[in-house]
Homo-oligomer: A and B are copies of this chain.
Amino acid sequence: MDLKLELQKKADLIEDSLEKYLPKENSPQKHIFDAMRYSIFAGGKRLRPILMLAACDFVGGNIDDVLPFACAIEMIHTYSLIHDDLPAMDNDDYRRGKPTNHKVYGEGIAILAGDALLNYAFELMIRAISKNHKNLERKVLAMKEIAEASGIYGMIAGQVVDLLSENKKIDGTKLDFIHNHKTAALIIAPIRAGAILSGASKEELEALTVFAKNIGLGFQIRDDILDIIGDEKKLGKKVGSDTENQKSTYPSVYGLDASKKKVDELFNKSVKAIEHFGSRSEFFIQLSNYLVKREY
């Protein structure tokens, strides 16, 4: 299996679906459609929806049932970035090499575009559920996974603690809390939701969950490492901003070497969780290896 090719195929499918789902017709509120589309099509890697499609493949489900949920999670991820970039939060002017939403549309519209994407993510999932009642209970359960991972016991919990920890030295426990909630929750949810939608067995779901937890945390620690050793051109953003903003990161709390070792350890654990499924786990294992060694 060629990982890059498979990633591209899945990303293209997501791209087409997002294009189809996101409105653009002429109407009094067209401006918000434009603002939503601006950030959705600003060059994201589509990692979260790809993970959901891969979980569907792993279990042997139907991609068409999964696509609305996969696009919903990308919308939720994108809304969180728009709000995170606002002056009252991280105050970032650029993301992925492009001006952030509020730099283009102004703060008011950026706040509304974030709200709109979050709300629309739920509209999309609910519409998929109410249009086709097949496997209704699975779909409700998958939506529950996504909703809880995005909320005050998931991503938002991480964002709040992160915001409150600005310019403060924090300990490993608090840092783990931030990483596990702010980032890992939205890595775990698409994998679990994709598996649930596809009718995963208890054993499959449990193995995928362990896999997901490990790559979720590994992905964020790699992010922290890249802010130190990364290449600005490849990353499409400034490096060293965590240090500049006195942000606590894995390397600042545990040191760079320990962080690299931790990422390797998480990678090994992720592989161990699913390797006994044989060829079905090939994509996830290659992806894990790629994510924890990524340079952007």
Contact = CB atoms under 8 A, between A and B. Distances in A.
Stoichiometry, as copies per complex, reads: 2
Nearest to A35: B160
Contact of A150 (B114, B119, B127): B119
Interface stretch (A5-13, A138-146, A233-241): A138-146
Contacts of A120: 151-152
A42 interface: no
Contact of A174 (B28, B143, B163): B28
A210 interface: no
A140 B126 contact: yes
Of A36, A114, A127, A160, the most chain B CB neighbours within 10 A belong to: A160
A147 interface: yes
Interface string A119-153: 11011001101100100110011011001101111
B152 A126 contact: no
A151 B112 CA distance: 10
A295 interface: no
Contacts of A112: 83, 156, 159-160, 163
A50 B24 CA distance: 35
B109 A86 contact: no
A119 B88 contact: no
Contacts of A156: 29, 32, 112, 115-116, 119
Contact of A109 (B115, B144, B163): B163
Given A33-B152, A89-B108, A108-B88, A144 B163 contact: no
Nearest to A36: B152
Contacts of A114: 115
B108 A123 contact: no
Contact of A133 (B118, B137, B144, B181): B137
Given A150-B119, A163-B108, A29 B157 contact: yes
B126 A144 contact: yes
9 contacts: A28-B174, A28-B177, A29-B156, A111-B111, A115-B118, A118-B118, A119-B156, A126-B147, A136-B136
Given A119-B152, A130-B137, 17 more contacts: A28-B161, A28-B174, A29-B156, A31-B164, A33-B152, A88-B107, A88-B108, A88-B111, A111-B111, A112-B160, A116-B151, A122-B122, A123-B151, A126-B143, A126-B147, A129-B140, A130-B144
